[in-house]
Structure 1
Amino acid sequence: MKTVLITGATSGIGLQLAKDYAESGWNVYACGRNESVLDELEAAHSTLQGVAFDITDLEASINALSSLEKTPDVWLLNAGDCEYIDDGRIDAPLFRRIFDINVIGLANTINACQSQFQSGQVIAIVGSIASEVALPRAEAYGSSKAAVSYLARTLQLDLKAKGVLVSVIYPGFVKTPLTDKNTFEMPMLVSTQRASREIREGIEKRKQHIYFPKTFTTILRLIGLLPYGWQNRITSKLVSRG
């Protein structure tokens, strides 16, 4: 029986992944801050164990993850948050909140887990297609996910010699409690069930990069090849401000 560890497992994509992996017969370490959700998951799935901690706290992350009973075959680092900037007015505390979770929280998790990395394992890191092209109001979120993408791609280089595969995941818009707060149109929005399937299939195929939905992410990747001025004109029309 294989084992997967999932951060951000109490909401959105992470919650769906935890359920789907457990229902597929995997041992699951479901990590998150919401202990009531973790308790519900444990009650519903005999092969799932909740691990409650805050990824922005390095000491708590090390205490929670440094002595797992089963070494995961897949480390699925999914925890993240999103807030938007209004009217181009930079909000430094907002930036700190987003970077503390999306970037420092990711680094804390890797710091806590890295002594257990072994040949044959997969480290799957959830980024965002927003890291590949500038989008309206995404100054904080997009730049944090650009940092996540860079961190993950450098890990691909550094861990390859150890036989550890690093897979970087680039979702488009996924219907979650986070995106439910959005007031703008979200092209080609997909369900958490679809996101979970795409991620699990990509990991199973040991893909280094997982993009979904294909049409939307391909369009944005192609836009990202254009001069910056052209990119700005196109994305401002593609993603309405609402």
Structure 2
Amino acid sequence: MTAKNILITGATSGIGHSLFKHYQQQGDNVIACGRNKEKLQEMAQQAKLIGQFDMTIPSEIEAFSKSVDSLDILVLNAGNCRYIDDAKQFDGELFADVIQTNLISLGWLLQYLLPKVRQGGQVVFVSSSATLMPFQRSEAYGASKSGVDYLANSLRLDLLKEKIDVTLIHPGFIKTPLTDKNDFPMPFLLNSEQAALNIAKAIDSRKEYAHFPKRLTMLLKFLSFMPNWIWRKLIIKG
């Protein structure tokens, strides 16, 4: 099997790091991107290339992209999660920061890295099952990830002529440094290695859409079809 050239954003921790290890052990050429310089330097011997940049700064992405050759798979995984704790005293700065990190940065990443994806290649968006239903305190995170969903599904149509597939991923709760900060129950929690295997299977199958764990995502899909007053009683706390 020919080794693939795979670029992963957010590769220094969580799902991204587990995906890096999966593909590296498989013998693929993995380009690891992130902000953590020390972690990237530790990964340098296993990676084809490392990219240390802030994805909210277009000039840093542009400079890094010049060192990237042809890609088979572009995995847009990096993101952040912050909550609106007081809706009445809405934090516009927090909202803008999350939208910038999770959504707007994808436009810059696509501008500079999508041209590197070869014909027959694949772009993967790691979104969230939080987009299946509205949740408390998730105005910023949910809005950003809903934008990711629309971006992926729309881009898929426009890349048909380029013969580039687009895969949208909806993970449930995954144990990562990001979710370690959560102060609420996380049902059907998976570890990052389990999440990476699910994502890798979806990529290998060139699926347009994948969601997991099914026990959570199918429940959310079912609840979303119920009358509002029913699911609100189930999810609203306090």
Q: How far apart, in 2, do the equivalents of 1:53 and 1:229 lie?
A: 45
Residue 208 of structure 2 aligns with an amino acid whose one-letter code is Q
Alignment match of 1:5 (pick from 4, 7, 32): 7
Identify unmatched segments of 5+ residues in structure 2: none
Q: How far apart, in 2, do the equivalents of 1:152 and 1:118 lie?
A: 18
Q: How far apart, in 1, do the equivalents of 2:203 and 2:25 lie?
A: 17
- 1:228 CA drift (Å): 3.2
Q: How far apart, in 2, do the equivalents of 1:123 and 1:114 lie?
A: 8
Conserved 8 A contact 1:29-1:50: yes
Q: How far apart, in 2, do the equivalents of 1:175 and 1:107 lie?
A: 27
Counterpart of 1:213?
213
**Count of aligned positions:** 235
TM-score, normalised via structure 1 length:
0.93
- 1:140 CA drift (Å): 0.7
Q: Does 88-97 or 184-193 show the bigger shift?
A: 88-97
Residue 179 of structure 2 aligns with an amino acid whose one-letter code is T
1:120-163 CA-partner distances (Å, limit 9, x unpaired)? 11100000011121012111101110111111111111111211
- Change in Cα spacing, 1:161 to 1:230, as seen in structure 2 (3 Å) is farther
Identify unmatched segments of 5+ residues in structure 1: none
Aligned-residue Cα RMSD (Å) equals 1.4
Q: How far apart, in 2, do the equivalents of 1:230 and 1:154 lie?
A: 32
- 1:66 CA drift (Å): 4.0
Conserved 8 A contact 2:82-2:140: yes
Using the aligned pairs only, state the percent identity.
39
Correspondence 1:101 to 2:101? yes
Q: How far apart, in 1, do the equivalents of 2:231 and 2:79 lie?
A: 26
SS at match of 1:120: strand
TM-score, normalised via structure 2 length:
0.94
Correspondence 1:121 to 2:99? no
**Whose strand proportion is higher, 1 or 2?**
2
Conserved 8 A contact 1:167-1:209: yes
Counterpart of 1:161?
161
Residue 140 of structure 1 aligns with an amino acid whose one-letter code is A
Counterpart of 2:226?
226
